[in-house]
Chain A
Amino acid sequence: GAGVSQTPSNKVTEKGKYVELRCDPISGHTALYWYRQSLGQGPEFLIYFQGTGAADDSGLPNDRFFAVRPEGSVSTLKIQRTERGDSAVYLCASSLDKFQRSDYEQYFGPGTRLTVT
């Protein structure tokens, strides 16, 4: 079956611009996560959705970052006034977790590589 997909695969933008990154989770997965992976680092948690609501947004670095999941499926990560330090690979993952358990497998997408010039 189809896995997690993310679009675009690559995005180059100028400093100060607004960008949107899209994630299509596996059908039927209620839990969705965003992570950010900087060069040479492991992924870092940004935000977790259970259905339509953001259950944990403690990883968002500042108020320039915002994510939505209006219908409980597709999610969009939005970054305003981009800065060069935002350059990274943004990963999306989904899981079947309906009970906020920690041991459900998260299935990752290929990521969106964001470059801010």
Chain B
Amino acid sequence: DVQMTQSPSSLSASVGDRVTISCRSSQNIEKYLHWYQQKPGKAPKLLIYSASRLESGVPSRFSGSGSGTDFTLTISGLQPEDFATYYCQQSYKNPFTFGPGTKVDIK
């Protein structure tokens, strides 16, 4: 299986901060990497697909980059509604696998 790791596992930030979350895969997954946001008690919400493509309706402060084994999710100007847990997911190889998550909370 393709193992996904994320760093940091958690971070504290303030409204307006620029936040960067890293996702790394155990093998080359090209650009088959997707990002989700999950709030407590809610389903995940798609933010970015194919490493850098912004899902329709998602604010432009969210951006993704990377290819191969190293990927980044950036939130430019953190908003109160962005405090949540973020997951990456690869679909290069069956089984699809998710990262362990990065929790973003209020400093």
Q: Is B a genuine binding partner of A? A: no
Q: A residues within 8 Å of B by Cβ?
A: none
